[in-house]
Amino acid sequence: MLEDKDLRSIQEVRTKVEQAYEAFQKYREFSQQQVDRIIDRVAAVARAHSEALARLAVEETGYGNVKDKIAKNLLNSDTLHQAIRPLKTVGIVRDDRQNGIIEIAEPVGVVAAILPTTNPTSTAFFKILISLKGRNAVVLSPHPRAVRCTCEAARLLYEAALQAGAPEHIIECLSDASMQGTNELMKHRRTAVILSTGGAGIVRAAYSSGKPALGVGPGNVPVLLEASADVESSVASVVEGKSFDYGTVCSSEQSLVAEQGARERVLSALKANGAYLCTSEQTAALAKLLVSTDFRINPDCVGQSPVRIAEMAGFPVPPDTSILVVEIQGVGREHPLSVEKLSPVLSVYFVRDFEESVKACTAILNFGGRGHTCVIYSKNEDRIREYGLRVPAFRVLVNTPSPQGSTGITTNVFPSMTLGCGAIAGNVTSDNVGPMHLINIKRIAFHVRDARAAFQSEEARAYFAGQPMPALAAVAAGGASRPRIADAVGRYLTQRGITAPVTSPPPATALRQTTITNPVEAVVDRFLSYRMASGTSSSAASNPSPGGLTNLPAQAAAASPAPPAPEIQVVPFVAEDDVRRARFKQKKIYINAKTIVTPAARDLDDGTILVQTE
């Protein structure tokens, strides 16, 4: 018997992944009817146990509240089930006879499902249902602080799947949860794809595993209260979203941005909805309690009631307080409460006008929530569209509480507990992840035309007719393309300190007889000579320059100054993706005290990328 917990965890992973893979080999042959019978039964059992599992989750983790965890469990056993039930995920899913394309769904295999501690049972429901809908096996890796409730949820759903005819071991859950075991799960040779929900560290590990991964980024959701919105109803909606499960949903509202002229109405509406407005001293105490010096959230405060958080910060609030409200004066490192807080604490930020509001919301997203979610309350369609076009978020919600809107309860986005943040956050997708992300599409493509018919351009027609291609012929003849070449070369040389003016070019036939002293014309001439000698014109002169554009004439070379010493450029903002790119290019990023560096970017830096300057 293994006594070492990490070794036990690794061995458990190896055993359960192999068993899940064997189950997948059988399940992949199931029909759509068989698959849908299984998910119908699994969803029904999940709904029946939503309350009991919500209570168990709160009891074990200490995060959130039972009422709202029931709602999240129902989202992933009722609303999600309604959305995925009609989907075709088996066999031929599209037959486009007109275009000669048949699409066939193929399951990916064993899904490694990494679960968070904030939403342990609802996320288990979600990942099990979408995996089974795609004819995949799933192995769940619970958070160490949520093993009991996650494994109980998995057990109940597994028994339901077996009753509906699923093969044994189609759902597995790790009972010896550890970081070593999770790493083994992500890298196991039988693991096909990783579905990761959790902190930045576990998502980065998923993307670094060498396996396909669907991870998510952090949320730092700004809410813009636009001038046309009804203040009272909008604020009530914000409080409803912010207080939901004590702020544990990643798409929970974090900062409310409004114009200065609406300040008194906004604060009055907040108080009318049970919010407690903190004094400047209480705000400072909350900042010290909630946010560490490296901008990590105190785990003891995550998902706690507003009364409990206020008590921890050293001041009392009424027992019926819905949320705590703190006023901030800006965004960034000097304003720690402008980060994601994972608790019922809402920042409010008053600015001059709509333009400043959009800029503030953008800054909030850049400070730890790029690509995730934002909200606008407005009756002005033009302002709503402008906001959506400008902000760096892939879920732009309108007039709705953010947790409910982003997960598909109050909007028609796909119901999901895995909200992709796109390439700007290092994610592979910006979608609300669902079962279609866990299948591959095979395409049967029929011959529909001859190769020549696929091309429509003038150049292509000339090519197939064996004639000179028009664009190259124009260059060889010194036609319309020559001024464009001269302009491009002129800009290139000007950037390097060569400022000779462009003069009227000689005729193409005189290229060999003319002495050219202008460096721009010299380079254009060298290019044209090279093109003509290489076969674009039968009248081209022989012995072209072997260097083509790389050999500048002596005049140009003499006019070129020595390259200046590289300057250190301090950047105003650094995100996680910037650090990732710099590491790939083996470059450094120079920052100073005014530079905004997102918490995720600092986490990714190993001390070799970010360089502090004066």
What does the pLDDT look like over 312-361, one tens digit per residue? 999 999 999 999 999 999 999 999 999 999 999 999 999 999 999 999 99
> Is residue 582 in some structural domain?
yes
Indicate whether 202 and 56 sit together in one domain.
Answer: yes
How far apart are the C-alpha atoms of 439 and 296, rounded to whole Å?
36
Indicate whether 520 and 600 sit together in one domain.
Answer: no
| Identity at 97, one-letter amino acid code | R
Question: Percent of the chain scored above 90 by pLDDT?
Answer: 66
Dihedral, CA atoms, 228, 233, 235, 238, nearest 10 degrees? Answer: -110
What pLDDT does residue 480 have?
46
- CA end-to-end span of the chain: 58
Query: What is the tens place of the pLDDT at every residue in 1-17?
Result: 556 778 889 999 999 99
Indicate whether 518 and 577 sit together in one domain.
Answer: no
Indicate whether 24 and 140 sit together in one domain.
Answer: yes
DSSP annotation of 338 reads G
Clarify whether 173 is annotated catalytic.
no
What pLDDT does residue 499 have?
61
CATH number at residue 143: 3.40.605.10
pLDDT, mean of residues 205-213: 85
> Is residue 502 in some structural domain?
yes
Q: If pLDDT is split at 50, 70 and 90, which confidence band does 458 have?
A: confident
Indicate whether 176 and 110 sit together in one domain.
Answer: yes
Q: If pLDDT is split at 50, 70 and 90, which confidence band does 411 have?
A: very high
Query: What is the tens place of the pLDDT at every residue in 63-77?
Result: 999 999 999 999 999
Indicate whether 160 and 238 sit together in one domain.
Answer: no
pLDDT above 90: residue 98? yes
Indicate whether 458 and 378 sit together in one domain.
Answer: no
Q: Which residues contact 474 (CB under 8 A, 6 or more apart)?
A: 480, 481
Indicate whether 516 and 553 sit together in one domain.
Answer: yes
What pLDDT does residue 215 have?
83
* Biggest distance spanned by C-alpha atoms of the chain: 94
What pLDDT does residue 477 have?
52
pLDDT above 90: residue 510? no
pLDDT, mean of residues 536-549: 40
Q: If pLDDT is split at 50, 70 and 90, which confidence band does 376 have?
A: very high
How far apart are the C-alpha atoms of 386 and 153, rounded to whole Å?
43
> Is residue 417 in some structural domain?
no
How far apart are the C-alpha atoms of 185 and 204, rounded to whole Å?
15
How does strand 439-445 pair with strand 101-107?
A: antiparallel
Residue 130, both tokens:
């979408």
Q: If pLDDT is split at 50, 70 and 90, which confidence band does 462 have?
A: confident
pTM of the complete model beyond 0.95: no
> Is residue 107 in some structural domain?
yes
CATH number at residue 288: 3.40.309.10
pLDDT above 70: residue 485? no
Computed over its alpha carbons, how large is the radius of gyration of the chain?
Answer: 31
Indicate whether 51 and 158 sit together in one domain.
Answer: yes
> Is residue 419 in some structural domain?
no
**Best mean pLDDT range from 367-371, 487-491, 549-553:** 367-371
pLDDT above 80: residue 101? yes
pLDDT above 70: residue 560? no
Q: Which residue has the tokens 């044994």?
A: 168
**Best mean pLDDT range from 41-55, 498-512, 539-553:** 41-55
151, 173, 250, 301: the catalytic one is 250
Indicate whether 225 and 273 sit together in one domain.
Answer: yes
The total number of structural domains in the chain stands at 4
> Is residue 280 in some structural domain?
yes
Indicate whether 80 and 95 sit together in one domain.
Answer: yes
Q: Are 310 and 302 in contact (CB under 8 A)?
A: no
Indicate whether 211 and 269 sit together in one domain.
Answer: no
* φ and ψ at residue 148, rounded to 5 degrees: -65, -50
Residue 497 falls in which region: left (phi positive, over 0), alpha (psi -120 to 50) or beta: left
pLDDT above 50: residue 285? yes
Annotate 377-393 with DSSP letters as a single string: E-S-HHHHHHHHHHSSE
> Is residue 263 in some structural domain?
yes
Q: If pLDDT is split at 50, 70 and 90, which confidence band does 539 have?
A: very low
Residue numbers of the domain that contains 325: 221-411
Task: Tell which wins on pLDDT, 538 or 91.
Answer: 91
> Is residue 269 in some structural domain?
yes
Say which range, 21-25, 87-91, 360-364, 519-523, has the weakest mean pLDDT: 519-523
pLDDT, mean of residues 207-227: 91
Q: Which residues contact 595 (CB under 8 A, 6 or more apart)?
A: 570, 571, 572, 573, 574
How far apart are the C-alpha atoms of 515 and 485, rounded to whole Å?
19
